[in-house]
Amino acid sequence: MSSQEDTKYVIECENLVKIYKTSDIEVVALQGLDLTVEYGELLAIIGNSGSGKSTLLNMLGGLDKPSAGKLLVNGRDLFKLKDEEMTIYKRDTVGFVWQNNARNLIPYLSAVENIRLVKNINRRRGGPDNSEELLELVGLGSRKNSKLAQLSGGEQQRVAIAIALANDPKILLADEPTGAVDTKTSNEILDFFNRLNRDLKITIIIVTHDRQIAKKVDRVIAIRDGKTSSEFLRRKSYAEEIEQIGSLNTHSEINETHEELAVLDKAGRLQIPREYLDKIGIKNGNKIKLEVEGDRIYLIAPKEE
């Protein structure tokens, strides 16, 4: 078994496949996805509905099992974990923040009681109750006795983050964490994720369909049709600008802040966006002409006979 000492990756996915089967239908949600995530990284995963991003998050969280491939998280092979080991993994390794606060919080409990409930259920050999400290960490120490209805959408999400941190997880997984709040609150939540990542050195993975959110992180993974299609890496010039100014231009497009790179799998395959193929006239069929010239590879539409 690998460990943090002999690998820099907290997550390693290789040729990951997930197939959902019913009596009369079979749906392939992931089709050979490859992904590595380093310890302490803040990462966004983007993709349209049905692309497979939430399926990936559920497998990382131990809520769903892969059909084939390789999936290592914090040195553990999730394919080999027995039910009891998987329960321990979900308790100790990952924290989850859902878009729907009804899945995060119990409405008739106060903010601090919500956190304390989780800590009591998962208490490790009589560890200290730091529920109030967690609320202070997310900036809600003064609202500890407030019920769900007394908190704004952003405050509810902060309580949800405190709950996700209750067992000191190695990885924080957030599924559309800003989907139910306005733009101002969304930016505040994302800035808070950045502070958590910086101060606690915790690995954070945010799944979203919103490319504006993606600009808040250094690395963005785009998933299309169940595969890793491209990565967006923050441009060095823009990173320096953030450091000097201290904030992002929220009106700019992600292509202004990040450089997009296509992802090759180990067999040398890549996904070419449909809009690119349309521009060179690839309408039907699956054939394309390749030419190498110097250090460039050209994709050319074959001439019709």
Q: Which CATH number do you get for residue 17? A: 3.40.50.300
Q: 163 and 96 in contact (C-beta within 8 Å)?
A: no
Q: What is the pLDDT of residues 44-85, one digit of tens each?
A: 998 888 888 889 999 999 998 889 999 999 989 999 999 999
Residue 200: inside a domain:
yes
- Flag whether 235 is in a domain: yes
pTM of the model: 0.81
Instruction: Give the pLDDT confidence score for residue 3 in this predicted structure.
Output: 47
Question: Residue 252: CA atoms inside 13 Å, Cβ hemisphere, count?
Answer: 12
- Same domain, residue pair 184 and 63: yes
pLDDT of residue 148: 83
If asked whether residues 176 and 207 sit together in one domain, one would say: yes
For residues 26 and 57, state if they share a domain: yes
pLDDT at site 39: 94
DSSP designation for 178:
T
- Nearest Cα to Cα of residue 12 among 66, 84, 90, 86: 66
Q: Are residues 188 and 267 in the same domain?
A: yes
Q: Tell me: do 218 and 279 sit in the same domain.
A: no
Q: Is there a single domain that holds both residue 215 and residue 298? A: no
Regions in the chain scoring below 70 on pLDDT:
1-6, 102, 122-128, 213-214, 235-256, 284-285, 304-305
**Whether residue 180 is found in the same domain as residue 259:** yes
| Residue 290 covered by a domain | yes
Structural domain includes residue 282: yes
Would 33 be classed as within a structural domain? yes
Cβ–Cβ contacts within 10 Å for residue 98, how many?
Answer: 19
**Parent domain of 280:** 273-305
Residue keyed to tokens 């808040």:
216
Instruction: Tally the domains of the chain.
Output: 2
- Residue 6 is predicted with a pLDDT of 60
Structure tokens at 281: 């006239």
Are 88 and 197 found together in one domain? Answer: yes
Give the H or E element holding residue 76.
strand 76-77
Burial class for 127, CB neighbours closer than 10 Å (0-12, 13-18, 19+):
exposed
pLDDT of residue 77: 93
Q: What is the pLDDT of residue 110?
A: 92
Note whether 186 and 296 are same-domain residues: no
* H or E, element range at 77: strand 76-77
Shared-domain flag, residues 305 and 200 = no
80 and 204 in a common domain:
yes
Residue 3: inside a domain: no
* 8 Å CB contact between 212 and 236: no
The burial of 241, by beta-carbon neighbours within 10 Å (0-12 exposed, 13-18 middle, 19 or more buried), is given as middle
In a domain, 304, yes or no: yes
| 138, part of any domain | no
Asked if 186 and 301 sit in the same domain, the reply is no
Rg (CA), the chain: 21
